[in-house]
């Protein structure tokens, strides 16, 4: 722990002061900005979901059984696998943002 009096004036001194007592650790949560980011992530997921739906429809037209198996050729399976990878990444980002926003607003 830094000693307040030994820190240079400005942010270093302020940070040491805030760290000197747990009750001083109050920060702005930027709720509006967090909500905007969360809404953006939702929309990105929605677009990826639409692409997955379109891909599923195209695959079903090509081969009705293609949606019942993971045993596809590299050529047929790659687009779905890549898209699901993008969805997973976005979903994790969304989940993390949602967790941070909700933890800032305990019920």
Element (H, E) at 91: helix 74-103
pLDDT tens readout for residues 86-103: 999 999 999 988 887 777
How crowded is the C-beta side of 86, counted as CA atoms within 13 Å? 15
At 16 the pLDDT is 95
Copy the structure tokens of residue 34: 């967090």
At 59 the pLDDT is 86
The conformational region for residue 10 under phi > 0 = left, psi -120 to 50 = alpha, else beta, is: left
Average pLDDT, the chain: 88
pTM exceeds cut of 0.85: no
Query: What three-state secondary structure class fits 8?
Result: coil
Q: Domains of the chain: which residue ranges?
A: 29-103
């Amino acid at each position: 722990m830094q000693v307040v009096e030994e820190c240079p004036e400005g942010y270093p001194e302020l940070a040491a002061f805030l760290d000197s007592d747990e009750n001083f650790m109050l920060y702005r949560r930027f709720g509006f900005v967090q909500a905007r980011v969360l809404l953006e992530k939702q929309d990105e997921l929605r677009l990826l979901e639409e692409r997955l739906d379109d891909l599923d429809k195209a695959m079903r037209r090509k081969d009705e059984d293609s949606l019942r198996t993971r045993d596809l050729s590299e050529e047929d399976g790659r687009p779905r696998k890549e898209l699901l990878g993008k969805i997973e990444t976005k979903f994790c980002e969304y989940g993390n943002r949602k967790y941070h926003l909700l933890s800032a607003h305990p019920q």
